[in-house]
Structure 1
């Protein structure tokens, strides 16, 4: 499994960029098409499978849609909002170092 510190936002049931968001360690399958987050299995959205224009993963059990992306140093992770994510304990140290200019684990070369 590949692990990365990611920005994750729940899209289902919320207005544009109004859903809860996290900076967290997310595990990915070898193909990067499946993500594991908060004991959920999320599949990458492909084709016309999504109902929300603003999601790129969905929960295989509940159908809830999520946006997952790498965090930004300028903390503008929400695409249309300035809402700040909850930084989870498992990601805090590496994320704070990232904000200070250190590459994220697994992203040392880009």
Structure 2
């Protein structure tokens, strides 16, 4: 499993204003499956989304981090929740000394990667 820092935004029901996070994910080697915050996402080709929650069907935009502009869509609003463990790495990436408090909320995100649960779910569908 590969562990990366990524941007995750819920699209279903929100358009460009959904809850958004910057946090550590685990991915399959191909990045077709991403695990984050006790959820699992598979690659998906939606109009405004690129991953779907395997268990709920909710659509998400998941991407690497942008260095010089907002990770949110230009029309989107709302604070991005960032894992407190990721703040220093993110600041280094964007070459800043502190996060703009009007754009970010620092939170604790537990490492919960449900590989076993999701594998059982996917194998039971066969």
Deviation of 1:77 after TM superposition, in Å, equals: 1.0
Q: Is 2:90 the partner of 1:95? A: yes
* Consecutive unaligned residues in structure 1, runs of 5 or more: 102-110
Which residue of 55, 80, 91 maps to 1:85? Answer: 80
Change (3 A) 1:60 1:82: closer
Larger helix share, 1 or 2: 2
Which residue of 21, 31, 53 maps to 1:59? Answer: 53
After TM superposition, the structure 1 stretch with the greater mean CA deviation from structure 2, 75-84 or 18-27, is: 75-84
Query: Over the residues paired in the alignment, what is the CA RMSD in angstroms?
Result: 1.7
Instruction: Look at both structures and tell me which one has the larger radius of gyration over its CA atoms.
Output: 2
Structure 2 Cα separation of the partners of residues 45 and 33 of structure 1: 9
* Consecutive unaligned residues in structure 2, runs of 5 or more: 97-126
Q: Structure 1 stretches (4+) deviating beyond 3 angstroms? A: none
Q: What TM-score, normalized by structure 1, do the two folds share? A: 0.77
Q: Is the CA contact (8 Å cut-off) linking 1:3 and 1:26 kept in structure 2?
A: yes
